[in-house]
Amino acid sequence: MSSLNRREILKLTRNGLIVAGVSASIPLFAQNAAPRKGGTLVYANCSTNRRGGDASNSKHPYYMIDLITRTAYNALTWIDENLQVQAELATGWTPADDSLAVWDFTLREGVQFHNGREMTAKDVVSSFEYHRQKTGFAAQIKGSEATGKYKVRFFLKEGNAEFPFVVAEYDQMIMPEASLDTIGLSGIGTGPFKIVSVDPQRRMVLTRNESYWKKGLPYLDRIEVVNREGQMEAAINGFRSKQFDAVLNIDPRQIAQLEKEAETELISASSGDQAIIILPKHAGSPFSDKRVRQAFSLAVDRDAIVRVAYGSAAGWVGNDSHLVAADANFSPRQSKRDVVRAKQLLAQAGYPNGITLPTMYYAPQWPEMGRVFQILQQTVKDAGIVLPIEERPSDGYLKFRQGEEDVSKGNWHKFAYTAVGPRNPGISLFRMRPSNNESGYWSGSGADTYMKLYSLAMVTRDSAKRKALYAEMQAIVQDDVPALLPAGRKNTLVKRTNVNNLKNHPQHWSIRWDEVWKS
């Protein structure tokens, strides 16, 4: 092999003459080559975007086809592949006082929107006036003000030591100043590519932004995004027929087959989304009894889910908190699977002969979801737990599972699944708050203590002290089990070997495309 030059290797690869295993070395040549400008990259995304827009709003960052908003937009900060916060449109930030409830951000100067106008603090203030009224992540912001042309001050409802992570979210993009009714609808951002056309929820076409603030980037002329939600087979067939240069968020069980194919490279992130099973605690629900929740958690064979549904290299065992195993703050479960103890708890709760749970609902948000819940269903049988499961269509699923928060209306939130992505502890652990549907509207002494620890953590500057508080919070949810988070996936993408510098990301919405190039 060492006697072949790069051109000969690529020729053999195109002709299908390089065998499995050898082709995996080809990216090393590309990595040593100088990036090349030009070309079109077409990728398919197999994840679900339930916020997909229509003809009126599909250029808006909230409603883009796959929420990978950094093709066209930027935020003040960016979360990197190691889940650490990095500068993007902001160059620096600092709390204004010890309360951690006031934050000052300094903006990057000379950044142009796609329409040629310079981004200033007025655009940031206008964008966050919209975000704080429209999204949960920004609801903690009371307001913001421009303190200079390139300086913005944020006023929070409460202190938040990890606020710089919040402004990196996919729905916190910076848009040109406009009214609340029109902001973002033009599709104009500061990102590496400009939106050319949209077929809502199906396809988006973008071209290079020649005035991008990162000089010399992007490399590609054009990106086309294709939605293949729930169409894994079609996406993989499209990749094999060279319709697509890459497919994002593939079924992890496809890895063993695809890694043998020529001109193919698979890239896994350190983590990814995980399944949260919401345990409703309204009157009459068996999950109102902590012992039933504990029994359910102990009966699940989490290792089997990882092994069978994902493969050990593409999944990880959850700990019933929203944190992912790749997070430095993650605390592994102390309690292993214990069927005997699960049976004892059910007997104490009044179910000596086992229990038939209500139907658990799920949508095929990820390709492997059917396998995950079949394994879960089978393993809890060992403890005498009968678990009916039912797949629901993705369309309308969110409204179906959430029901009404006002229980007097009789439309209970469901015993159901949803996917949650990896975020910093300040965001992830807040998702188990009693007022959130994902906790099943958890209450009691455990919930009260959990929220007191959270409030203390958010005003604690020292990261090591925060980590200790986060560990206490995780211990509480592992014991009280407000929700079940048994296992997670490592996001995996497949790409051609001539696609260079495409990095996968635990947050699939945070993938950046400005440094990707084709050889």
With bands split at pLDDT 50, 70 and 90, how would you rate the model's confidence at 25?
A: very low
pLDDT of 335-371, one tens digit each?
A: 899 999 999 999 999 999 999 999 999 988 887 888 9
- DSSP one-letter string for 504-515: --SSGGG---TT
Q: For the chain, what is the radius of gyration of the CA atoms?
A: 24
Handedness of CA 123, 124, 129, 131 (dihedral sign): positive
pLDDT of 242-297, one tens digit each?
A: 999 999 988 888 888 898 899 999 999 999 999 999 999 988 999 999 999 999 99
pLDDT of 147-196, one tens digit each?
A: 999 999 999 999 999 999 999 999 999 999 999 999 999 999 999 999 99
Tokens (6 digits) for 287: 């999950």
Contact criterion met (CB below 8 Å) for 78 and 88? yes
CA dist 484 and 502 (Å) reads: 33
In the numeric block, the tokens 């007097």 are attached to 408
Contact criterion met (CB below 8 Å) for 103 and 148? no
Distance of alpha carbon 451 from its chain centroid, rounded?
24
Alpha carbon distances (Å) from 322 to 418, 444, 478: 12, 20, 11
Contact criterion met (CB below 8 Å) for 306 and 487? yes
What sections of 1-120 are H helices per DSSP? Answer: 6-14, 26-32
- Give the pLDDT confidence score for residue 13 in this predicted structure: 36
Is a pLDDT exceeding 80 seen at residue 495? yes
pLDDT mean across residues, the chain: 90
Domains and CATH numbers, the chain: 6-48+191-269+491-518 (3.40.190.10), 73-166 (3.90.76.10), 274-489 (3.10.105.10)
- Give the pLDDT confidence score for residue 7 in this predicted structure: 39
With bands split at pLDDT 50, 70 and 90, how would you rate the model's confidence at 22?
A: very low
Which stretch of DSSP H or E encloses residue 151? strand 151-156
Tokens (6 digits) for 428: 């992830």
Looking at the chain, the whole-number percentage of residues with pLDDT higher than 70 is 92
Exposure of 391 by Cβ count < 10 A (0-12 exposed, 13-18 middle, 19+ buried)?
middle
pLDDT of 257-271, one tens digit each?
A: 898 899 999 999 999
pTM: 0.86
Mark residue 340 as left, alpha or beta (left: phi above 0; alpha: psi -120 to 50; beta: remaining): alpha
pLDDT of 400-425, one tens digit each?
A: 898 776 666 767 789 999 989 999 99
